[in-house]
Amino acid sequence: MAHKKNFVRGAVASVTGGLLAFAGLAAPAFADESLQNTEIISPAADLAEGQKQINIVSYNDFHGRLSNLEAFAAGSLTIADKFGAENTLFVANGDQVGASEFESSLQNDDPTMDALTALSEGSQHSFTVGNHEFDKGQEDAERIRQKLGGTLLAANVTKSDGSLLMDAYKIYEVNGVKIAVIGAVTESTPSGVSPQGIQGLTFGDPVAAVNKYAEEIEQAGAADIIIASYHEGGPAADLDTNLGNEVFSKMAKDTSDKVDLVLHGHTHYGYNYDISERRVLQAGEYGKQVGQIVFTVDADNKIVKTDSAVIDTIADKAPVYTRDGLSPQSQQVYDKVVAIKEAAYSEAEVLGAEQIGVVNDEITRAYTWADGAAVKDDRAEASSLGVLVADSMYQWANKNVAGGADLSIMNPGGLRADIAGDGVLTYKDAQTVLPFTNNLAVVTLSGAQLKQVFEEQWQRDANGEVPSRPYLQLGISPNVSYTSDSSRAEGDRITGITIDGNPLSMDAEYKVVMPTFLAGGGDNFHTLAEGSLFDTGSVDLDAFTEYVKDLPGQELKVPTARPGVDTEGFFTAYGEGPTLKAGEDFTFKVKNFNLRSKDFLANESVDVKIGEQVVGTGTITGDTANGDVVEAEITLNIPADLAGKQNLTLIFNQSGTAAVLPLTVAETEDEAPSITVDPEKVTVEKSAEGILISGTGWNAGEEVTLTVTGPEGINAQFTVMPNEAGEFSENITWATFDKATGEVIADNQPFPAGTYTVVATQGDAEATATFEVVADEATPLPNEPGKDDQAAGGKTPAEGALAATGADSNLLVGGIAVALLIAATGATLMAQRRNA
């Protein structure tokens, strides 16, 4: 059966009903646009003879949000009242349950499903499967299907034998019009649920599946209107952004033109578009919005007009619609729905008291002490509860999410209560700690971005201002250790990060699991919003309770080690510590090595090691009882048998807090200073590339004098400065210069043939090396001392001289070498330093 699209919009909609069908045939195609209608659509007052209207109420991603149920029910029933329940079809587009609030999740989401089916009493209700209906496997998905009245549509989910797991579509008759709803779920479902639970199932292309069954319905003449109900959506509310997304664009543009309406879910955005003369809607999340679509059909049940809106049921956290505005029939439905919620809450009080674990010691947020009294919730300090919740997310992700996670982070404001150490951990205990029921997201970041996230603990708001809480301490999974120096400049305070014992690589990618609140850049962690986000669809509370059940004896124990410590006077740059000599003493300070929870385990001693070798001592001072102004002064003495790059390990003995700090051990002082030249023998022609003089074993910070003597009285002298490792490197070349002005005419000229001696001196230390320049008869020797070759322009004689050039600027420290002017065979020679 052919379906006529809605070509009539905007000003055309005011044309009399009798002309609508004709106008629709003649109207030009309209450009895609985003519609802003947020008001409930009322029945048309000027329908032409034989025309009637069908009212569709759509919603998605309710996710067991019983706390929103009154507002959602009042808004939905208000829309249904406009046309009457009998002329209304409810269409739910997936994730009705799963990732639910405590009261619903605790009861297998039965209260939510009971409330949703009760909502459509007197109407009809279509349900499409979402990925969360598979959270507990396909057997539980079948339970959900039965609970929802036997309707759960999944056109693209097939079993191993190729047959459908559930119905692809269902046909409803509303006001004499046959409406087919085809349901399909996101193809990415396997990446967000347990593989064991969906073994043998294939999640195919949702658009291909919808098109297949749209053709089947059309060929059979089984419906007047076809609706595609996708549990998949666009990555934003903005139309241009969504059209640039391959998944969205395919659903919007490639869905068969036999389909009259495209409904979305999964991505939780609210939008209302007209794309290719067809409405495309998604109604936000959690019942806070609902969609309304009104079809006007003619006497042959062909569509002549479509109106649509996305309507808020909650605005500024308050319900928009209430029971008072409903019809008597809808008030009865509303009362029934609310009664289901109230019963669920009462039952949750009982079930919430059930034990899920054991906890014998109090596990708390960070505390501050004022006048000797503990004050809760210091968000600028690390806490045992923050570490514990971060660890629960990390362990859960590596068990349940494809690809796992490298680490996890938790915002301190997301922890709303402490855990009492009374021996019993209940569901309610866990829920009061994590009351927001945040979805967990895995965000992929580069190492450089991850470092910046850690830097953003020192806060700046979106306007670049320091907020009222200038520092927020992230909860960090215990497989991570980091160091900082809060005395350094902003943006340069994080000095090292290790993950599973490996240093952070700036160019590598890391998967970080966190609440979606943080993933969107919440709490001024702006860089997180730059990462690639995967919403697991599971919530922090579920991850935490599963974590507890997996613990030995299901016993929660108090974390005592702090993931990060603050150093002062150690790091020279990110990942770079000092260069020290064997036997040299070096002192620095370490702060913030205690967790700051109530009754935290205070550190009293610290071991300082390189490998298993003790290389220093630490003295802890300050008020360890309160944790205020506590620091460790560390003094190192490097043993003689160490050299090169080393890792210094600090182990705080009472808590287990550990930190790894890199340093370099310089060569021992008794190493004989030496120099080498490269090459030692060279032709005149090749000598134009220069001679490299390198030195090792010299005292850092003291100048070394290099004297070069050669044939025909050549003599030049200049100085170099060894680096911290006692090394230097210098390239010398032969250059011509203007005798009158001293300006260089040309560098990298051939050396005069002969033997050259280089003598390096520093105090009483001396080292010698020689090189030989061999004459090549085929190669002339221009600009030798005493020759009167003319400089450019021919006005003044040119002279030759040695020029010293830093071969590796990273190895050289110091100023310009001093030129020593000496007469030789009537010529003036000079040693000239240039930048490499």
Whole-structure pTM value: 0.63
CB-CB contact of 44 with 269 (8 Å): no
Of 174-183, 369-378, 792-801, the poorest mean pLDDT is in 792-801
Give the pLDDT mean for 525-550: 93
Give the pLDDT mean for 196-223: 96
Name the pLDDT band for 467 (thresholds 50, 70, 90).
confident
Q: Residue holding tokens 């952070």?
A: 504
Contacts of residue 56, Cβ cutoff 8 Å, sequence gap at least 6: 88, 89, 91, 227, 261, 291, 292, 293, 294, 295
Listed ranges 59-73, 359-373, 779-793; the one with the highest mean pLDDT? 59-73
Residue 269 has pLDDT above 60, yes or no: yes
Domains of the chain: 10-14+34-346 (3.60.21.10), 356-556 (3.90.780.10), 584-666 (2.60.40.10), 674-834 (2.60.40.10)
pLDDT digits (tens, 9 = 90+) for 753-811: 999 999 999 999 999 999 999 987 644 444 444 334 433 333 345 566 676 554 432 22
Give the pLDDT mean for 663-677: 82
Tell me 421's DSSP state.
-
Give the pLDDT mean for 524-537: 93
CB-CB contact of 129 with 229 (8 Å): no
Question: What ranges in 199-354 are assigned the alpha helix state H?
Answer: 206-220, 239-243, 246-254, 328-351
Name the pLDDT band for 829 (thresholds 50, 70, 90).
very low
Q: So what's the pLDDT on residue 810? A: 28
Of 168-182, 463-477, 500-514, the poorest mean pLDDT is in 463-477
In 3D space, the residue among 442, 440, 409, 411 whose CA is nearest the CA of residue 511 turns out to be 442
CB-CB contact of 387 with 475 (8 Å): yes
How high is the mean pLDDT of the chain? 87
In 3D space, the residue among 206, 32, 213 whose CA is nearest the CA of residue 129 turns out to be 206
Listed ranges 10-14, 184-188, 731-735; the one with the highest mean pLDDT? 184-188
Q: So what's the pLDDT on residue 99? A: 83
Residue 643 has pLDDT above 60, yes or no: yes
Burial class (CB in 10 A: 0-12, 13-18, 19+), 9: middle
Integer Cα distance of 614 and 594 in angstroms: 22
Residue 162, φ and ψ in degrees, nearest 5 = 90, -5
Looking at residue 41, its amino acid is I
How far, CA to CA in Å, does 217 sit from each of 175, 214, 256, 667, 786? 19, 5, 12, 83, 103
Name the pLDDT band for 372 (thresholds 50, 70, 90).
low
Residue 291 has pLDDT above 60, yes or no: yes
Give the pLDDT mean for 112-139: 95
Q: So what's the pLDDT on residue 23? A: 29
- The per-residue DSSP string of 87-116 comes to GEEEEE-S-SSSS--HHHHTTTTHHHHHHH
Q: So what's the pLDDT on residue 815? A: 26
pLDDT digits (tens, 9 = 90+) for 140-160: 999 999 999 999 999 999 999
